[in-house]
Structure 1
């Protein structure tokens, strides 16, 4: 296995159940958070739509 084959899997969310948790690879999360990707590869718990991020600009 090479280092390039490793993918870090992360979960982000608001603690104490105050909001959904979004999880996926670091690259997929970064793409979604920066508006460069639609987040189709991410998982949301509980199963709902991805949270809408504020417009960047």
Structure 2
């Protein structure tokens, strides 16, 4: 399992999502973060291109 940590702001989310999609090595992904950290917003950005 590969662990990647990233810090970004809302204006960078589409770029971060694109980078994550390029690095995916499997179909299973786990997101961990505090309540209100933007996990759902990032997932929406990841799924929009599909």
Q: What TM-score results when the alignment is normalised by the length of structure 2?
A: 0.29
Q: What TM-score results when the alignment is normalised by the length of structure 1?
A: 0.28
Q: Which has the higher contact order (CA 8 A, sep 6+)?
A: 2
If each structure's strand is expressed as a fraction of its own residues, which one has the higher value? 1
If each structure's helix is expressed as a fraction of its own residues, which one has the higher value? 2
